């Protein structure tokens, strides 16, 4: 019993802090909203937010079905690497992806060059299609991995049975594969929809005007352009209600970890040949080009700029590294505490999931309103960014840890209790070694996400004090594309590097 | 060892006080301070006489500068705010953050009476295009709206040119402004937060025309010997911009701020502004304008709302603009 009290103690205070932070921000915002009347442009932002998120979710899921199916039934050199790369967009800084997308699909990019050469009018990247394109770039890989998991979870006997019964391909799809899809698709749609609801950096860089402004962007503009605190508070309240409603509505859907490792199994049966083979090849090639071309463009555009780095680059890099490391540390420690406690208390799990209802700009605006009477926003830009990043990555980390924490609890809790081991000893010799793998992976995710985050920092940073993603965005805005490319290359290298390093440390520790 | 460190630390802490160089902080827009902008020359020129250190702080375009100032309020470290225009001065005065300043002689084409601000340059808004690609530019906002031309404009909430365009459409079309914006909507490639982003995008080939100034082609002509940029002359007239600077009431360096504003309105700074900010000077130097400025278009009609009218029209005009472009 004493043991239990010691372990619940910090988790209890932690969950109260999270609840206070999220619900306190929401209450703060609701109180500061001076009027509840939405202007037509606010309605437009709400409509656009929901519309682009719906389109992004539908298109990502629709394209993921043939892509995942092709990857499931084909074996080719580089398949393993391609599947690994599908996890990359999750830790890819948004500004870097936008820079890559602009260089492929922008006015000066190869796509428009081809269109013009064919005598067709060039396409503009700005607006709804640019925003959806970027969101599909980020979420198609996630959806594909989730579906690939689904396909691999279908018992191979079913495929063999269907084949021995001589079912045609269409009937096999309908009776063997469709039930899996029907189970998976709603969860995938919900995840992508929720991610796109809080899109800020994409709308900031590719939105292009009032027609395609998300609520997150409108909050930022109300604060930074108009300094209209009442309107910012109203929009943030709206965003919170929207995200909370969607989170609650989708809570019942079982969501798979689309970014977990281990995706290879022997083929259950001979894949179809003929036009289906050609189709699969085409799909895989197109998906690979769509995902890799922007990344390649960042490298190609960034390399020449490395000789002429912009002013303030190293300060910004240092700032981003500090943010990434501290928020990864805080998020990892907090998620471990909560995940261990959540094995015994539903309340802890709920508290850990609470940040899903908030967004970067919602929390940022709440903190902005709360802190402004006492300090200038610039002075607290770094601590606030760390706090918001750590909080927003918490649900992902707790979800990663929870299954293994439950396992640990089931296997060892009696054993450690009967030995009467003190909590520190349990943590050191029992818990940490067994949870090292998800902890390392989670710390890597948190570090990479915080490294690349462009949200709350845009609200708080002044003229100086930019982080690396903010610097990339400002250089892009100033059309200093070579310098932006170089800074983006450094950013993406550090993000992936941090992720890889933490993941590696976790695996090493687990194996040792 | 420890005492040495301590001494070094104390010396470091004390050094700003020992140096006794007063710092004048100027809050301005982002295209003022780059090496090609007016910032370095103005800083160098003023520092030569003031025995002070001029430091610039930027916050996006002109309208965002005002938002930034409201955010910082009386805690702002700025002594001088540079780069608002007369569409914003009434709103700026209403914050109560500005202190009255001495009037400076000017040669503006319109009377200027605002006790809180000193005008430092002025210009006409215009759509700038590449005359090697576009041979028959539109002659009015409606002609532009009816064309297939792609334009890039600035956000009126954060940028003074963006706000100027809003007032321009309002001044010419009045109640029909919403319709003009609805017609313009399909011409607008993107709305940028500030002038630098928009102009940069235009130069990169991202649009056929960009909202800038009748004086912008002079930069290409004089600094780059490139005559390929022109401003489109609209028969209905062009909206004017008078850019101003003011002193903050909470400034710790009021005398320095006054001296800076006087310097800004003086011959040396005025001459520098012509070929760095690429605007007409608030007070034309005795030598006149540089060669090349005579090639610029001259609007037959100039439009400008009073500061009070602009303040009254701004909120509704922004809402109208947002609504028209949201459809």
Long-range Cβ contact pairs of B4-9 (< 8 A, separation 24 or more): none
User: What is the overall mean pLDDT for chain A?
Assistant: 89
Q: Is the pLDDT of residue A267 over 70?
A: no
Inside any domain, residue B6: no
The first and second tokens of residue B56, run together, are 């610039």
Residue A469 sits at the vertex; the CA angle it makes with A374 and A499, to the nearest 5 degrees, is 110
Stretch A53-75: mean pLDDT: 96
**Is A318 part of the contact surface with chain B (CB cutoff 8 Å)?**
no
| Chain A positions in Cβ-Cβ contact with residue B311 (cut-off 8 Å) | none
Average pLDDT, chain B: 92
Q: Do residue A210 and residue B192 have CB atoms under 8 angstroms apart?
A: no
Cβ(B71)–Cβ(B169) below 8 Å: no
Please indicate, yes or no, whether residues B321 and B182 belong to a single structural domain of this protein.
yes
CA distance B60 to chain A (A): 9
Which chain B residue's Cα is nearest to A40? B323
CB B113 within 8 A of CB B192: no
What is residue A272's DSSP assignment?
P
**What is the total count of domains within chain B?**
2
Res A183 pLDDT > 70: yes
Instruction: State the first-to-last Cα distance of chain B, in angstroms, to the nearest integer.
Output: 70
Name the nearest CA neighbour of A479 among A43, A34, A108. A108
Q: How many secondary structure helices (H) and strands (E) does chain B include?
A: 12, 12
Contact B325 A227 (CB under 8 A): no
Contact list in B for residue A463 (CB cut-off 8 A) is 57-59
- How sure is the predictor about A481, in pLDDT bands with cuts at 50, 70 and 90? confident
Mark out chain B residues that contact chain A at CB-CB < 8 A: 57-60, 63-64, 66-68, 70-72, 75, 150, 155, 157-158, 185, 188-194, 196-197, 200-201, 203-206, 319, 321-323, 325-327
Assess contact for A63 and A145: CB atoms under 8 A: no
Distance CA A378, CA B58 (A): 13
Q: Judge if B199 and B319 occupy the same domain.
A: yes
CA pair distance A381, B81, nearest whole angstrom? 23
With an 8 Å Cβ cutoff, are B193 and A477 in contact? yes
- Kindly tell me if the per-residue pLDDT of A420 is higher than 90: no
Question: B5 lies in a domain?
Answer: no
Which chain A positions have a beta carbon within 8 Å of B25's beta carbon?
Answer: none
Q: How far apart are CA A234 and CA A36, in angstroms?
A: 7
* Residue A512 pLDDT > 70: no
Determine, yes or no, domain membership for B2: no
Contacts of A271 (CB under 8 A, 6+ apart): A73, A74, A277, A280
| Confidence tier at A255 by pLDDT (50, 70, 90) | low
Q: Which residue of B has its CA nearest to A462?
A: B59
First to last CA, chain A: 32
Contact A478 B319 (CB under 8 A): no
Whether residues B192 and B319 fall in one domain: yes
Question: Exposure string (b/e) for B285-295, b if CB count within 10 Å is 16 or more?
Answer: eeeebeebbee
Q: Is pLDDT above 70 for B272?
A: yes
Q: Do A227 and B201 touch (CB under 8 A)?
A: no
Q: What is the pLDDT at residue B14? A: 47
Instruction: Tell me, yes or no, whether B9 lies in a domain.
Output: no
What Rg do the C-alpha atoms of chain A give, in angstroms? 24
Sequence-distant (≥ 6) Cβ neighbours of residue B161 within 8 angstroms: B61, B125, B154, B195, B198, B211, B212, B213, B241
Average pLDDT over residues B297-321: 95
Per-residue pLDDT reduced to its tens digit, A131-174: 999 999 999 999 999 999 889 888 888 888 888 898 888 898 89
Interface residue A376 vs chain B (CB under 8 A): yes
Whether residue A1 is predicted with pLDDT greater than 50 in this model: the reply is no
Contact A210 B203 (CB under 8 A): no
Same domain? B35 vs B81: yes
Q: In percent, how much of chain A has pLDDT > 70?
A: 95
pLDDT (mean) for A205-213? 90
- Is A370 exposed, middle or buried, given 0-12, 13-18 or 19+ CB atoms closer than 10 A? middle
Residue with tokens 């930019």: A466
3-state secondary structure at position B93: helix
Q: Kindly state whether residues B49 and B97 are assigned to the same domain.
A: yes
Tell me, yes or no, if A126 comes closer than 8 A to chain B by beta carbon: yes
Whether residues B305 and B269 share a domain: the answer is no
The pLDDT value recorded for residue B18 is 47
Asked if A290 contacts A467 with a C-beta cutoff of 8 angstroms, the reply is no
* Overall size of chain A counted in residues: 512
Q: Which of A229, A360, A427, A144 is nearest to B71 (CA)?
A: A229
Our measurement of the distance from residue B145's CA atom to the centroid of its chain's CA atoms, rounded to an integer in Å, reads 25
Strands (E), A332-471: none
Token couple for B264: 């800004």
pLDDT at B137 over 90: yes
pLDDT higher than 80, residue B11: no
* Residue B215, in any domain of the structure: yes
CA distance A98 to chain B (A): 16
Q: Are B287 and B54 in contact (CB under 8 A)?
A: no
Instruction: Please indicate, yes or no, whether residues B192 and B314 belong to a single structural domain of this protein.
Output: yes
- B158 and B270 in a single domain? The answer is no
Q: Which domain holds residue B234?
A: 124-240+298-326
Query: What is the CATH number for B219?
Result: 3.40.190.10
- Taking only the tens place, the pLDDT of each residue in B90-124 is 999 999 999 999 999 999 999 999 999 999 999 99
A45: closest chain B residue by CA? B326
CA dihedral B123, B126, B129, B131 (to 10 degrees): -80
Looking at residue B75, what is its pLDDT? Answer: 85
Element (H, E) at A382: helix A381-419
Nearest to A209 among B72, B191, B205 (CB): B191
Shortest distance between the Cα of A211 and any Cα of chain B, in A, equals 4
Task: Judge if B137 and B227 occupy the same domain.
Answer: yes
Across the range B56-70, mean pLDDT stands at 93
Question: Does residue B206 share a domain with residue B81?
Answer: no
pLDDT at position A254, please? 56
Residues on chain A touching B200 (C-beta within 8 angstroms): 477-479
pTM across the whole model: 0.89
Q: Sort out which chain A residues have CB atoms less than 8 A from B71's CB and list them.
A: 223, 227, 372, 377
Could you give all domains of chain A from N- to C-terminal order, each with its CATH number? 1-32+306-512 (1.10.3720.10), 37-302 (1.10.3720.10)
Does B199 reside within a domain? yes
Determine the pLDDT at residue B2: 53
Indicate whether this complex's ipTM tops 0.90: no
Task: Report whether B318 contacts B166 (CB < 8 A).
Answer: yes
**pLDDT at res. A65:** 96
**Are B169 and B302 in the same domain?**
yes
Measure the CA–CA gap between B262 and B8, rounded to whole angstroms.
40
Return the number of CB contacts < 8 Å for A and B.
98
Residues B166 and B246 occupy one common structural domain: no
């Amino acid at each position: 019993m004493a043991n239990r009290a010691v372990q619940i103690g910090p988790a209890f205070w932690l969950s109260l802090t999270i609840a206070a932070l999220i619900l306190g921000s929401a209450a703060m915002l609701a109180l500061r909203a001076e009027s509840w009347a939405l202007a037509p442009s606010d309605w437009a932002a709400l409509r656009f937010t929901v519309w682009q998120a719906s389109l992004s979710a539908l298109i990502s899921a629709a394209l993921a079905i043939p892509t995942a199916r092709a990857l499931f039934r084909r074996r080719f050199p580089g398949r393993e690497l391609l599947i690994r790369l599908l996890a990359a967009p999750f830790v890819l800084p948004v500004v870097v992806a936008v820079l890559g997308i602009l260089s492929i699909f922008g006015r000066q990019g190869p796509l428009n060059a081809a269109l013009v050469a064919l005598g067709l009018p060039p396409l503009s990247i700005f607006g709804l299609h640019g925003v959806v394109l970027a969101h599909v770039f980020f979420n198609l890989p996630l959806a594909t991995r989730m579906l690939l998991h689904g396909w691999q979870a279908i018992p191979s006997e079913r495929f063999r049975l269907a084949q021995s019964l001589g079912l045609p391909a269409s009937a096999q799809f309908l009776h063997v594969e469709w039930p899996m899809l029907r189970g998976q698709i709603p969860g995938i749609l919900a995840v992508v929809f929720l991610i796109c609801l809080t899109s800020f950096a994409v709308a900031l860089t590719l939105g292009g005007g009032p027609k395609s402004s998300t609520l997150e962007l409108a909050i930022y503009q109300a604060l930074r352009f108009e300094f209209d605190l009442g309107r910012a508070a109203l929009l943030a309240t709206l965003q919170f209600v929207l995200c909370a409603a969607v989170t609650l509505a989708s809570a019942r859907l079982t969501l798979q970890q689309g970014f977990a490792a281990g995706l290879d199994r022997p083929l259950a049966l001979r894949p179809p040949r003929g036009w289906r083979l050609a189709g699969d090849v085409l799909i895989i090639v197109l998906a690979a080009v769509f995902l890799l071309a922007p990344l390649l463009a960042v490298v190609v555009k960034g390399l020449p700029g490395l000789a002429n780095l912009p002013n303030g680059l190293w300060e910004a890099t240092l700032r981003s590294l500090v943010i990434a490391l501290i928020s990864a540390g805080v998020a990892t420690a907090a998620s471990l505490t909560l995940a261990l406690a959540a094995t015994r208390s539903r309340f802890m799990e709920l508290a850990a999931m609470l940040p899903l209802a908030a967004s970067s700009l919602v929390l940022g605006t709440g903190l902005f309103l709360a802190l402004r009477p006492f300090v200038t926003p610039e002075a607290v830009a770094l601590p606030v960014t760390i706090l918001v990043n750590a909080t927003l990555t918490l649900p992902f980390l707790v979800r990663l840890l929870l299954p293994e924490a439950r396992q640990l609890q089931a296997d060892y809790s009696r054993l450690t209790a009967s030995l009467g081991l003190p909590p520190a000893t349990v943590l050191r010799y029992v818990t940490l070694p067994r949870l090292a793998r998800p902890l390392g992976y989670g710390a890597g995710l948190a570090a990479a996400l915080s490294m690349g985050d462009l949200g709350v920092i845009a609200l708080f940073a002044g003229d100086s004090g930019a982080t690396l993603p903010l610097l990339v965005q400002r250089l892009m805005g100033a059309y200093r594309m070579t310098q932006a490319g170089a800074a983006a290359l450094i950013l993406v290298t550090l993000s992936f590097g941090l992720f890889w390093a933490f993941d590696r440390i976790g695996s090493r520790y687990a194996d040792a | 060892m420890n005492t040495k460190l301590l001494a070094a630390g104390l010396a470091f802490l004390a050094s700003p006080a020992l140096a006794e160089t007063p710092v004048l902080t100027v809050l301005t827009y982002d295209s003022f301070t780059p090496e090609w902008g007016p910032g370095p020359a103005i800083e160098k020129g003023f520092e030569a006489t003031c025995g002070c250190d001029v430091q610039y702080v930027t916050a996006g375009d002109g309208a965002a500068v005002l938002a930034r100032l409201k955010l910082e309020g009386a805690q702002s470290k700025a002594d001088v705010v540079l780069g608002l225009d007369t569409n914003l001065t009434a709103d700026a005065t209403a914050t109560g953050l500005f202190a009255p300043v001495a009037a400076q002689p000017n040669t503006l084409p319109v009377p200027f009476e605002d006790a809180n601000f000193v005008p430092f340059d002025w210009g006409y808004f215009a759509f700038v295009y590449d005359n090697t690609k576009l041979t028959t530019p539109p002659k009015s906002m409606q002609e532009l709206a009816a064309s297939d031309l792609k334009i890039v404009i600035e956000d009126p909430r954060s940028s003074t040119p963006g706000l100027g365009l809003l007032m321009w459409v309002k001044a010419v079309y009045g109640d029909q402004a919403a319709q003009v914006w609805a017609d313009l909507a399909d011409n607008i490639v993107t709305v940028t937060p500030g002038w630098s982003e928009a102009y940069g995008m235009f130069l990169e080939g991202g649009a056929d025309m960009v909202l800038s100034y009748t004086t912008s082609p002079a930069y290409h002509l004089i600094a780059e010997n490139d005559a390929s940029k022109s401003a489109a002359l609209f028969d209905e007239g062009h909206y004017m911009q008078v850019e101003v600077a003011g002193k903050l009431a909470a400034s710790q360096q009021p005398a320095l701020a006054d001296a800076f504003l006087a310097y800004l309105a003086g011959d040396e700074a005025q001459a520098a502004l012509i070929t760095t900010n690429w605007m007409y000077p608030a007070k034309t130097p005795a030598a006149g304008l540089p060669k090349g400025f005579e090639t610029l278009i001259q609007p037959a009609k100039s439009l400008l709302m009073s500061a009070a009218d602009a303040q009254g029209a701004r909120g509704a005009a922004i809402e109208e603009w947002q609504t028209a472009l949201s459809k």
